[in-house]
A = this chain, B = another copy of it.
Amino acid sequence: MIISPVFDKDSSKALYIQLYEYIKNEIISGLLKPDSKLPSIREASASLNLSKTTIENAYSQLVAEGYIENQPKRGYFVCDLTEYSFDIVSTVLKSTVKQDSDTYYLNDGVDKDSFDISTWRRLYNKVVADEDTNIYSSGSIQGEKFLREEIANFVNTMRGGNTGPEQVIVGAGVQYLLGMLIGIIRSDYNTVAVETPGFYKAEYIFEDYSFNIRHIEVTDNGFPIGALKKSDAQVVYVSPSHQYPLGTTMPVNKRMELLDWAQKNNGLIIEDDYDGMIRYGGMPIPCLQGLDKNDCVIYLGSFSKMLLPSLRISFMVIPKKLLPVYSTIKTRHTQSTSKIDQVVLANFMKEGFMVKHLRKIKRIYKKKNMLLAASFKYRFKDKLEIINSDSGLHIVCEAAVKKTEHALQEDARKTGILLNIISSSKDKVIFSLNYSGINTDKIQDFTELLGKVLFE
């Protein structure tokens, strides 16, 4: 059998690769028949005027990929691939599916002046260069110990919590952590109660893991514990510091009642404290976890809203009683947050920048919140009322809107405004609105745009 490739001596491709590609194509196209014998390495080397090594390299690549086989003492033979029709697409097809671009919203994200990027960068450069960080090894599955210590300290001192670092689990986003939590509790629990309206992305995770979902309707009075008691749920997902999206705060008597329910029913309370740090009227409301005597609260926190959404660092504090199960299933997962980011954040916290940062953003968002309220008042008069705005990074509004919910949603999206419709009737709509990402000098422009979306 003769092989007669044409070589391109000017190509950047090594000769053995050109030979390999030539033979492979001959086999695929059927020109080299199954079971036919290839020239021996010595023969090919002589006839093609190539070194034996070149031939050897090409042949071994073809053997490794299974196009030819080396039969001891007999030589190299073409494998039988005729059963399968090769039709390898050699050029990248232009996809016919429309590129589904993500929408960027005017009001999403955090304030551009809020973050001390030069400090972060300085710490990053230090951490990456530091031998102790050991960026070359994978990190701790649970989260770097240094960061878990800082987080425990943060939860205890800034949020009134009560935890040790061994209860803290670090992960890339609350959803990921919830999946892990479900892995810990699923042998004992299968029904969860969620706030409605609430943080739907949490509900989805429970749904994905085949939990039964019970919707507890949140009213102006907040979370109705009576309804929870009547349900068969043993796990409840709540946002007591600042109910998402309605913005109500759960008063201490309800918190105690909820803890009481958990104790009596051997239940679990998942506390989502997504923006509990940011409150304008006074100090932050201490978290529910700190009131828990019976080891039944799971606390979820995230640095995305607090610090920078382009970082993905969240954490979960689990009760001590769940630690034994966690330690048995822990190695089923990998750590999802960059070790480098974890150590940078730990340094950021340890050196006091987090406390400074929180003070700063409280000032920034308080001002933004007031300017927004004033701008809305001036522009919309009594067509729009702000119902809740004393904490967090979104406000809840009620507006005399005559559009359908769908039309409103569409207009908002087109304008680049992220609008979360809570309820709507014929001539009234209640929605929540992120405002953290609106530039302070753009508040009037934003108000104009919102006016068009709502009333035109």
> Footprint of B on A, CB under 8 Å?
16-17, 20, 57, 60-61, 64-67, 79-81, 83-84, 86-89, 92-102, 104-105, 108-112, 114-115, 117, 120-121, 124-125, 128-129, 133-142, 145, 152, 156, 162-167, 172-176, 179, 182-183, 201, 204, 208-210, 249-257, 259-260, 279, 281-283, 285-286, 290-291, 293, 304, 308-312, 320, 323-324, 327, 330, 332-341, 390, 437
The 22 listed contacts between A and B (C-beta, < 8 Å) are: A64-B249, A65-B286, A66-B254, A80-B253, A81-B253, A83-B256, A84-B253, A86-B256, A95-B164, A100-B327, A111-B136, A112-B136, A121-B124, A134-B310, A135-B310, A136-B437, A137-B309, A139-B309, A176-B176, A201-B333, A204-B333, A338-B338
Partner of A312, one of B135, B182, B183, B335: B335
Partner of A125, one of B81, B125, B136: B125
A100/B142 contact (C-beta < 8 A), A66-B254, A80-B253 known: yes
Q: Please provide the 3 A-B residue pairs with the shortest distance between their CB atoms, ordered closest to farther.
A: A66-B251, A109-B137, A84-B256
The answer to whether A166 and B100 have CB atoms under 8 Å apart is yes
The answer to whether B340 and A95 have CB atoms under 8 Å apart is no
A310/B129 contact (C-beta < 8 A), A65-B285, A67-B252, A142-B100 known: no
Taking CB as reference atom, which chain B residue is nearest A92? Answer: B156
How far apart are A188's CB and chain B's nearest CB, in angstroms? 15
The answer to whether A173 and B334 have CB atoms under 8 Å apart is yes
The answer to whether A164 and B94 have CB atoms under 8 Å apart is yes
A304/B138 contact (C-beta < 8 A), A64-B281, A252-B66, A320-B97 known: yes
A260/B142 contact (C-beta < 8 A), A128-B120, A308-B136 known: no
Report copies per complex: 2
Q: Given the complex, which residues of B lie within 8 Å of A330, measured CB to CB?
A: 100
Report Cα–Cα, A179/B208, bound state, in Å. 9
Q: Given the complex, which residues of B lie within 8 Å of A175, measured CB to CB?
A: 333-334, 336
